[in-house]
Amino acid sequence: MRIKKILATSLILVCSLTTNAKKYELSDFEKDEMQKAVSYYDNNQPDIAIDIYNNLLANNPKSYIINYELALAKVAKGEYAEAIKITEKVERNSDVEDKLFQLQGNAYDYMGKRKKAVASYDKGLKKFPKAGCLYMEKGNIMLMENDPNGALGMYEKAIEVEPTYSSPYYRASALFLGSTEPIWGLIYGEAFLLLEKGQRNVAIQNAMVKRMGQAFKIENDTTLHVSLTQQNTINVKGLNLIIPFEILYELAVVKSTAVDKLKSEKRDSITISDFIEIRKAAADAYDDWKDKYPNYLFEYQKRVINAGYFEAYTMDLFKDVYADEYKTYVANEENQKTMEAYKAWMVKCPFEPNENNLIIRKEAR
């Protein structure tokens, strides 16, 4: 799975070359030839791409970007040892990027040399301490070595140092949704949906909706059990009660009108309307705990609510898993206008987490 992700970087190389040709010190001829190589690569003809890169390197052997793309093509062919040698030649170049150390480490990983893979990621982190991709790869290694807690620590560190990098949100969400703390799976999952579209987006939509549904269970005619966290300890500091964020979130959900409906209708299946109300209740309660537990996702949800678009926002985020409900919603002329207005608002007010506006558990501790 990881190899597909990193190899996909060649798909954006054409745009990168256009905007960064000066940075990479490429001539117009080299830029044109590399674009041809990318086309061959994308059409499953890496050998032709490799020939082009080697021809270019004959005249420009120290070029970081040409060597990087050659190493990428070598990895695609399974020639990992050669790829590593190529990356080592240019890892001290002034224009080297964090993705070179990611590629180098992954090549070691594919060879079964995980310790050397981690050493490559750490080498990159010394040069690029805010490289989210390198922390994420360390997390992937930990996960493969049956250390999910260590993996989560790395994914959350990746989110902290590079808040707009979507992949660690995806991986953290997937782990939390399968744990006893699905609250954080829902939070990281929603952030991921806002940052990345595509097939992984649909997978997380489904996982979030499924896990939210599993959190509500009818126990008898009068009791609906809600389980979004196993946090159950309230600390006392002097005369103050310190209530964990997770408990506050769950209490807000329990008080939502959706939960009242689930109890009165004696059902534990979640509709899109329930999903909207449950999440809106948590966002509305955010004002009560924002000073103690700041979280950019809730800040953004509040902006959406204040703009009057929370229903459209949720419909748009989960339109694949609630496809029929989405079609019904936009079939209404007024709703369609609202959706268009919401999307225009999103362009002006994008979701932009940064080092001062984070979405990590550390902020809730």
Q: Examine residue 354 and state whether it is found in any structural domain, yes or no.
A: yes
What pLDDT is attached to residue 114?
97
What are the structure tokens assigned to 26, written together? 């490429």
Split the chain (365 residues) into runs of 10 and give each run's mean pLDDT: 42 50 81 94 93 97 96 96 98 96 98 98 98 98 97 97 97 96 96 93 94 85 81 71 89 88 80 93 94 95 98 97 96 98 97 94 71
Q: Examine residue 275 and state whether it is found in any structural domain, yes or no.
A: yes
> Is beta strand 223-226 parallel, antiparallel or unpaired with respect to 216-220?
antiparallel
Q: Examine residue 141 and state whether it is found in any structural domain, yes or no.
A: no
Backbone angles phi, psi at 285, to 5 degrees: -80, -10
Q: Examine residue 238 and state whether it is found in any structural domain, yes or no.
A: yes
> Is beta strand 240-242 parallel, antiparallel or unpaired with respect to 235-237?
antiparallel
What pLDDT is attached to residue 232?
74
**What angle do the packed helices 114-127 and 132-144 form, to 10 degrees?**
160
Task: Report the SS3 class of residue 244.
Answer: coil
Number of domains within the chain: 1
3-state secondary structure 2-61: HHHHHHHHHHHHHHHHHHHCCCCCCCHHHHHHHHHHHHHHHCCCHHHHHHHHHHHHHHCC
What pLDDT is attached to residue 1?
33
Q: Which helix (H) or strand (E) holds 226?
A: strand 223-226
Comparing C-alpha atoms, which of 105, 19, 111 is closest to residue 65? 19
Q: Examine residue 145 and state whether it is found in any structural domain, yes or no.
A: no
How far is Cα 208 from Cα 233, in angstroms, rounded to an integer?
Answer: 26
Contact 164, 148 (CB under 8 A): no
Q: Examine residue 288 and state whether it is found in any structural domain, yes or no.
A: yes
Q: Whole-model pTM above 0.85?
A: yes
What pLDDT is attached to residue 22?
57
Contact 117, 137 (CB under 8 A): yes
Give the torsion sign (CA, 166, 172, 175, 180). negative
Those residues with Cβ within 8 angstroms of residue 350's Cβ, 6 or more apart along the chain or in another chain: none
How far is Cα 48 from Cα 71, in angstroms, rounded to an integer?
Answer: 14
Task: Report the SS3 class of residue 235.
Answer: strand
The parent domain of residue 353 ranges over: 211-364
How far is Cα 72 from Cα 38, in angstroms, rounded to an integer?
Answer: 11
Contact 161, 133 (CB under 8 A): no
Q: Examine residue 215 and state whether it is found in any structural domain, yes or no.
A: yes
Tell me, what DSSP letter sits at residue 216? E
Q: Examine residue 231 and state whether it is found in any structural domain, yes or no.
A: yes
How far is Cα 153 from Cα 162, in angstroms, rounded to an integer?
Answer: 14
